[in-house]
A and B are shown apart, each in its own frame.
Chain A
Amino acid sequence: MGPPRSKKRRPTFRRLLKTSGVKLENKLKNRTLKQQNVAKKQRKEQKKLRAAVKDAAIRTPRPLETYRNRPEEEEEEEFLETLPTDMMEEDDVQQMTAMARQASFITRDLSACGPVHGGKKRSADAVRSYEKVPRKMVRTEETEVIHLLPIKDQRGVVPQSVERGMTQQQRLVRLTEMASLTAEQRETLRVQKINDRKLVIASLGSAVVSDPYRNIKRVKELRGMLMESDPSVAVTVRKLVMVSLMEIFKDIAPTYRIRPLTPEEKAAKVKKETQQIREFEEGLVSQYKFYLEDLEQTIKDWKQQKKKRRQAVGFDSYRGLAEVSVRCLCSLLLALPHFNFHNNIVVVLVPLMNDADKQVSQMCCDAFRNLFQQDKEGGASLAAVRVISGLVKRLNYHVRPELLRTLLSLRIKEVQMKKDMEDTAPTKKFMNNKEKRKKLSRMQRKWKKAEEKLEKELLEAEASESKEKKIKLHTETLNIVFLVYFRILKKAQKSVLLPAVLEGLANFAHLINLEFFDDLLNVLQNLIQSGDLTNRESLHCIQTVFTILSGQGDVLNIDPLNFYSQLYRMLPRLHAGAPNDDIIIVLRCLDAMLTRRRKQVTLQRAMAFVKRLSTLSLHVLPNASVGLLAASRATVHAFPRCDLLLDNEVQGSGFYLAELDEPEHCNSQNTALWELQPLQRHYHPVVRRLALHLSHGAPSEGSAALGALSRKSPAELFNAYSVRDMTFNPPVAPPGSKKKKSFTAKYVFYTYKEFVLVL
């Protein structure tokens, strides 16, 4: 009678707690499914109970202390111990294994292990005892469940029932235990308890993972441990169970979404295997759901407590538990994007991205960033973006910038407006007739033909469908993203989100629809001229503008002269300190501004930029120097007349005005790139090489040619020589061989000798 009751009890208990709308929805969905299966489950439950009872009969529980009252067994034990191990015969071994099933034997082995045990035997016994412990634990769990309902005190529900399940003696012991133990003993006891629980978790987990179809019920037992009651170990055990369950679900969840069965399907008779799979799926879905609910509840408890600022007794542990829950959810978010309840996870996690707790928000943001990055279908991203957009709007744009920054990770390359572009994916090559005739026999050819035909069909069907679907999803996602961005640009220009918005716009600028261009350019122009922006933000603005203009924006007739001057003015403000990382944006801008729009740029402007870029490369870290020099190189290639900068001759009138911020009027033709000389003494070998290359007019051949370096874009070079993780690129030569040593030693000595001889 026990198990069914407990089954019913849990949902009611849960119902007492508050549930979100989404959860309720889920519940409704699942309830039908559940009700259909109640009868079946009961049957299974009972079957299991019978098995458990049978199991229990073999291992009758014996209280810990009783063995002391049984001298005859101890004698036997001692007798056994005195026997040399290799003299043991088959019967003895059998007898011992039979005894090993008895709890007293085990407990003694654990607690009062005799000192004269042979090493081999002891280890064997230890293993056996480990095997036994979990099963015993499972059983006690069951007894708790039976007696849980009627008792409740201020400590909670469960401890009471545990005590009730205990024998008189044990209760007595437990009572005296707490009073008599020292802190140290209590600690060891706790460690032991934790170890016991760990073993239980491990055995249950491995059972499930090894045969999920049959052991799905074990998940429930494991989940029961989430209600761990012993106050000394509760927090740890709960955390352990959460994490283990997370891993188990990741492992056993199928690669498809499980849908509830239709009544017809239900009514139809099926094979045994199918039935088993169905049962497994049902069990899995319901357990997964309950598990997620548990996690959500934990987080909610933590949050509510925080808001009420109630007594802070369990506060620390609540926080820890909640953090673990969030971690589990994040990990599931990433691992099972296709599986049931993914949306629910998203709904739970998105508000947490904006959480006041930095660690939690960081964790969630990272999870979503990864989700966006690895999401190939686009469905999960769309769902997440939708929820994020809703959140941003609801909170009236008072959210963390990190939240918006996650959107930068969206893997969107194409949207609807470019639908007409042809498929660039490499098509599979099929053999033509000639080859076939040469290589294959007649039969083979026939087979091949059929095969190819089939393959072609498959390919077409799949590609067209998935691609269309993907683009549709992406378009929708991006529309939402832009909606968020434009809203902020329009309504909340002063908010902290602006940098994130500008960065996002710069990132997706090539996907913006034509109709927005005019307005957007105006907004950006105003922003940049207001002077409130930091360097980085202005750079993002410029990048956005030029990405738009170099895409479909070329139909617009706009002269972005102002933006050129802005960038030119900004260059001397950058340096090797904090703004060194902004140079990557400069490099991207330059690519769009000088190389791709070379027809619209005057020579004056190009030369002024080359001069300023190489000046700037004196004041930045090597990776930026390399990037800037490479950009100068690209410009020199685009404007061959830039070689004026390599001669020391004055053209026309006027001096070069280095400090003037107008590229057209600074007389850049009257200066030379003298900074390449110090750069040729730069400490970084690659900078030296590039400087030498440029000073010779960037030739493609000869001693000053670049070789492999020339094939990389400036931005790539910037990243390749980044020093962020302290890697040495190019590497430093390790200490050389001994041969060289004698030579140089002599050399040093010689110079000294010379020195003496002069005296």
Chain B
Amino acid sequence: MLANSFQLLSCLFCRKLEDLSVDEFLLSGFDSAGEGDSDEELIYTYCIIVVVVILLDDGKKGKATEHKEQLSRLKNKDPEFYKFLQANDQTLLNFDDTDTSEDEDEKKYHRLPSALEFSCENKDLHTVAVETIKVTDKMIEDWKAAMKKEPTPRLFREVTQAFKAAVATTKGEGGAQCRYKVADSSVFNALVLFCIRDIYVALQRMLNLKPDKDQKKLVLPSSSPKWQKNQLDVKMYLSGVVQLLSCLTESTVISAVLRHANQLAPYYLCLPKQCRHLVKQLMKQWSTGEETSRVLAFLALNKICRHKQETYLNPILKQMYISYVQNCKFTSPNVLPMINFMQRTLTEMYSLDTQATYQHAFIYIRQLAIHLRNAMTMKKKETYQSVYNWQYIHCLYLWCRVLSSLHPSDVLQPLIYPLCQVIIGTMKLVPTSRYYPLRMHCCRALTLLSSSTNTFVPVMPFLLEILQQVDFNKKPGRMSKKPINFAVILKLSKVNLMEKAYKDGLIDQLYDLILEYFHTQASSIGFPELSLPTVIQLKAFLKECKVANYCKPVRQLLEKVQENSSHITGRRQKAAFGVADATAVAAWEKQIKEEGTPLSRYYSQWKKLREKEIQLEISGKDRMEDLELPEIKRRKIQEKKVEDKKEFKDLFESDSESDSDDGELKIKGSTGLDPSGGF
């Protein structure tokens, strides 16, 4: 069953998943399952839940308990769906705690070593010390057995020494101060695997640490009476793990080690220096690693922050922001999902403490504003460049996302105003046609912010201005073969402006954006006034435009907007309250929203179609680009990632019983990846 589910999962990951909060995740799962057997559909959904939980929580309890918890959370979050489940599948809710997929876990256990295979040929070259003991497979077996039986400090020290020696080989010519020597790559693999798998449990037993009953508080190893004695060895071991992490290149191995580091988080929390080093490595993985390692690194960072907020939260937030900025310099269809991931996870981190977030956001938004002001006053090309770049735009988007996700927050509310002003100022800085893509990114960010914070921001004028400025009747200067992907460009070249693809794309984008914006305002009582200039403008456009291809979508848009407008006008004429009555208006708007407006109905329809279109586009592109070399590579990577996920999932399961972590992670904007690109 699980294997099956992973098949589905892989499909899911390849799909465009735009909103990744759990609920929507689930719903989208439903949508795509389509007209299948209802049981299968449920299983499918359930698998998704499990995977999401594994990805997000640390999987410390059995999968089943996890699942239970998840389901009850679901009950909290989405009662409708919960009811639906209750009605349809009782067994799913009364899930048995004794897990069923034990054997499958076993099966995958043994695949791990092969994944760990390490090119150690060159390490054999430097055999140095004389009095060192060579580590053999047998020794490892012995240690393993002994550890299982009774972990003693002495044994632990030996293993630590051996581990240190193993790590030292990865560095090349190392310290050579080790008692042991690891010469063979298979021994290396066995040793590392052994450590990763067993050391944590052994340590817990050795220090006599029991998971807290409350399960909410992390048990720090420094509370154990035996801590003082073993501190040095633990320290050595922990720095070994960090070092190992720093020199690994294979993503699967990195994931395994990260997972281990995650387990060891309480120990790191007791040793500030090691923790600092670990954070540095985690930061590197989070911002530059493969997808899985990014997720794992984020989980570890999150754990550290949650448990020692006062010491680590501020520096980690700062570092994360900086590495985010550093790593969003270039945007391409391949990188965009990673940037989205960073945005979402960073938002997650910012949700830990809104007061701290306010300070960060204030400083960084001000920084953005200062850049903008300089650009405005200097009016030089170099200063424009300091604003009109991807980093700036991604930062704007990040803050929009943070403020939107954490919306009902009194602390962060005041920041909406400066952020809006900065974004509008950015749009108005160089309002030429070459920067239309940038303007559209800004509009999108504003739409997001305005819809999720229930704030009014004038977005429409900036879109309509485009419609006004571009002469769509003019014959394009040249034909182009490829459509322009507006999601990954900021600036159009002069050549682009002559192309047909540019105007096609522009109409498409405007249609999307206008519809999206009006959708967010569809149930507002002022909708008719809000849409008045648009209606006038679109009518003028239809009068002028002679190109049928452009007139069609515009006419459709106009119809929908007018329909919605008259709907609202009709409804509000019957209303019994005056303009001043804010509460009555709010209630009225809510009612209208629940009833649905013509525009919102059309929007959901359109959205579905549009998503399918995008998927088709992506798959079509893949098919087409199979013929070219680089894209083949990309696909392989993606396939591989799915495999990786399977493997790394095994790792989760392997220690899930012994893990005593709490699952406090809030699943707000969840952390999944979105490989299809696009916002």
State whether these chains interact: yes
A residues with CB within 8 A of B: 572, 575-578, 614-615, 618-622, 645-648, 650, 658-659, 672-685, 695-697, 723-728, 732-736, 740-741, 744-745, 748, 752, 755-756, 758-759
Q: Which of B457, B464, B529 contacts A575 (CB 8 A)?
A: B464
Q: Name A670's closest neighbour in chain B (CB-CB).
A: B573
Q: Chain B's interface: helix, strand, loop or mixed, by majority? A: helix
Give CA–CA (A684, B450) in the complex, Å.
Answer: 12
Give CA–CA (A619, B353) in the complex, Å.
Answer: 36
Give CA–CA (A723, B458) in the complex, Å.
Answer: 15
Give CA–CA (A745, B359) in the complex, Å.
Answer: 14
Known: A577-B462, A618-B529, A685-B417. 15 other contacts (CB 8 A): A618-B526, A658-B532, A659-B536, A674-B525, A674-B579, A680-B582, A682-B456, A683-B450, A727-B373, A733-B414, A741-B353, A744-B354, A748-B352, A758-B76, A759-B69
| Interface hits, B160-205 → A, CB 8 Å | none
Give CA–CA (A645, B536) in the complex, Å.
Answer: 23
Interface pairs A-B: 10 shortest CB-CB: A575-B461, A726-B373, A577-B465, A735-B359, A576-B461, A741-B355, A675-B529, A683-B420, A678-B526, A675-B526
Give CA–CA (A684, B416) in the complex, Å.
Answer: 9
Q: Is the CB–CB distance between B431 and A681 below 8 Å? A: no
Q: Is the CB–CB distance between A728 and B421 below 8 Å? A: yes
Q: Name B539's closest neighbour in chain A (CB-CB).
A: A659
Q: Name A658's closest neighbour in chain B (CB-CB).
A: B532
In the complex, B246 has a CB within 8 A of chain A: no
Q: Name A740's closest neighbour in chain B (CB-CB).
A: B355
Q: Is the CB–CB distance between B579 and A620 below 8 Å? A: no
Contact residues in B for A727 (Cβ distance below 8 Å): 373
Contact residues in A for B249 (Cβ distance below 8 Å): none
Q: Name B366's closest neighbour in chain A (CB-CB).
A: A732
In the complex, B415 has a CB within 8 A of chain A: yes
Q: Is the CB–CB distance between B372 and A726 below 8 Å? A: yes
Interchain nearest-CB distance for A676 vs B (Å): 6
Contact residues in A for B535 (Cβ distance below 8 Å): 659
Interchain nearest-CB distance for B590 vs A (Å): 13
Q: Is the CB–CB distance between A677 and B524 below 8 Å? A: yes
Q: Name A685's closest neighbour in chain B (CB-CB).
A: B417
Contact residues in B for A618 (Cβ distance below 8 Å): 456, 458, 526, 529-530
Give CA–CA (A732, B221) in the complex, Å.
Answer: 44
Q: Name A727's closest neighbour in chain B (CB-CB).
A: B373
Interchain nearest-CB distance for B3 vs A (Å): 29
Give CA–CA (A648, B377) in the complex, Å.
Answer: 47
Q: Name B585's closest neighbour in chain A (CB-CB).
A: A677
Given A677-B585, A723-B421, CB of A732 within 8 Å of CB of B415: yes
Given A575-B464, A726-B373, A759-B72, CB of A648 within 8 Å of CB of B417: no
Interchain nearest-CB distance for A73 vs B (Å): 55
Can you show 23 pairs from A to B with CB atoms below 8 A apart?
A: A576-B424, A578-B465, A619-B458, A619-B461, A621-B458, A648-B572, A658-B529, A659-B532, A659-B535, A674-B525, A677-B579, A683-B450, A684-B421, A723-B421, A726-B376, A727-B373, A728-B418, A732-B414, A732-B418, A735-B362, A748-B353, A756-B664, A758-B72
Give CA–CA (A741, B358) in the complex, Å.
Answer: 10
Of residues A621, A645, A675, A683, which shows the largest number of chain B Cβ atoms within 10 Å of its Cβ?
A683
In the complex, B602 has a CB within 8 A of chain A: no
Q: Is the CB–CB distance between A678 and B580 below 8 Å? A: no
In the complex, B12 has a CB within 8 A of chain A: no
Q: Name B576's closest neighbour in chain A (CB-CB).
A: A648
Q: Is the CB–CB distance between B528 and A658 below 8 Å? A: yes
Interchain nearest-CB distance for B357 vs A (Å): 10
Interface string of B491-534 (1 = CB under 8 A from A): 00000000000000000000000000000010011101110110
Q: Is the CB–CB distance between A576 and B579 below 8 Å? A: no
In the complex, B247 has a CB within 8 A of chain A: no
Q: Is the CB–CB distance between B362 and A732 below 8 Å? A: yes
Q: Is the CB–CB distance between A675 and B421 below 8 Å? A: no
Q: Name B376's closest neighbour in chain A (CB-CB).
A: A726
Q: Which of B359, B416, B464, B530 contacts A678 (CB 8 A)?
A: B530
Contact residues in B for A736 (Cβ distance below 8 Å): 355, 358
Q: Name A758's closest neighbour in chain B (CB-CB).
A: B76
Given A578-B431, A619-B458, CB of A674 within 8 Å of CB of B577: no
Number of interface residues of B (CB under 8 A): 70
Interchain nearest-CB distance for B627 vs A (Å): 44
Q: Is the CB–CB distance between B414 and A646 below 8 Å? A: no
Give CA–CA (A620, B428) in the complex, Å.
Answer: 12
Q: Is the CB–CB distance between B461 and A683 below 8 Å? A: no
In the complex, B113 has a CB within 8 A of chain A: no
Q: Is the CB–CB distance between A648 and B578 below 8 Å? A: yes
Interface string of B579-600 (1 = CB under 8 A from A): 1101001000000000000000
Interchain nearest-CB distance for B585 vs A (Å): 5
In the complex, B315 has a CB within 8 A of chain A: no
In the complex, B220 has a CB within 8 A of chain A: no
Give CA–CA (A734, B530) in the complex, Å.
Answer: 33
In the complex, B438 has a CB within 8 A of chain A: no
Q: Is the CB–CB distance between A726 and B362 below 8 Å? A: no
| Interface hits, B533-547 → A, CB 8 Å | 533, 535-536
Given A728-B418, A745-B353, CB of A752 within 8 Å of CB of B529: no
Interchain nearest-CB distance for A652 vs B (Å): 14
Q: Which of B354, B414, B585 contacts A748 (CB 8 A)?
A: B354
Interchain nearest-CB distance for B271 vs A (Å): 25
In the complex, B460 has a CB within 8 A of chain A: yes
Q: Is the CB–CB distance between A672 and B353 below 8 Å? A: no
Interchain nearest-CB distance for B224 vs A (Å): 27
In the complex, B308 has a CB within 8 A of chain A: no
Give CA–CA (A733, B536) in the complex, Å.
Answer: 40
Give CA–CA (A217, B460) in the complex, Å.
Answer: 69
Contact residues in A for B309 (Cβ distance below 8 Å): 745
Contact residues in B for A741 (Cβ distance below 8 Å): 353, 355-356
Give CA–CA (A682, B458) in the complex, Å.
Answer: 9
Q: Is the CB–CB distance between A732 and B417 below 8 Å? A: yes
Q: Name B466's closest neighbour in chain A (CB-CB).
A: A577
Contact residues in A for B363 (Cβ distance below 8 Å): 735
Q: Is the CB–CB distance between B456 and A725 below 8 Å? A: no
Q: Is the CB–CB distance between B576 and A677 below 8 Å? A: no
Interchain nearest-CB distance for B521 vs A (Å): 7
In the complex, B629 has a CB within 8 A of chain A: no
Q: Which of A572, A696, A725, A755 contacts B533 (CB 8 A)?
A: A572
Q: Is the CB–CB distance between B76 and A755 below 8 Å? A: yes
In the complex, B632 has a CB within 8 A of chain A: no
Given A680-B582, A681-B455, CB of A723 within 8 Å of CB of B533: no
Q: Name B581's closest neighbour in chain A (CB-CB).
A: A695
Contact residues in B for A673 (Cβ distance below 8 Å): 579
Interchain nearest-CB distance for B290 vs A (Å): 31
Q: Which of A620, A648, A725, A758 contacts B577 (CB 8 A)?
A: A648
Interface string of B443-455 (1 = CB under 8 A from A): 0000000100011
Interface string of B394-416 (1 = CB under 8 A from A): 00000000000000000100111
Q: Name B406's closest neighbour in chain A (CB-CB).
A: A748
| Interface hits, B652-673 → A, CB 8 Å | 664, 666
Interface string of B635-662 (1 = CB under 8 A from A): 0000000000000000000000000000
Q: Is the CB–CB distance between A752 and B664 below 8 Å? A: yes
Q: Name B354's closest neighbour in chain A (CB-CB).
A: A744
Give CA–CA (A740, B521) in the complex, Å.
Answer: 34
Give CA–CA (A680, B525) in the complex, Å.
Answer: 12
Q: Is the CB–CB distance between A575 and B579 below 8 Å? A: no
In the complex, B476 has a CB within 8 A of chain A: no
Contact residues in A for B450 (Cβ distance below 8 Å): 683
In the complex, B575 has a CB within 8 A of chain A: yes
Q: Name B73's closest neighbour in chain A (CB-CB).
A: A759
Given A682-B456, A735-B358, A759-B76, CB of A646 within 8 Å of CB of B580: yes
In the complex, B425 has a CB within 8 A of chain A: yes
In the complex, B369 has a CB within 8 A of chain A: yes
Contact residues in A for B526 (Cβ distance below 8 Å): 618, 674-679
Give CA–CA (A615, B525) in the complex, Å.
Answer: 13
Give CA–CA (A490, B153) in the complex, Å.
Answer: 104
Q: Is the CB–CB distance between A677 and B424 below 8 Å? A: no
Contact residues in A for B421 (Cβ distance below 8 Å): 622, 683-684, 723, 726, 728
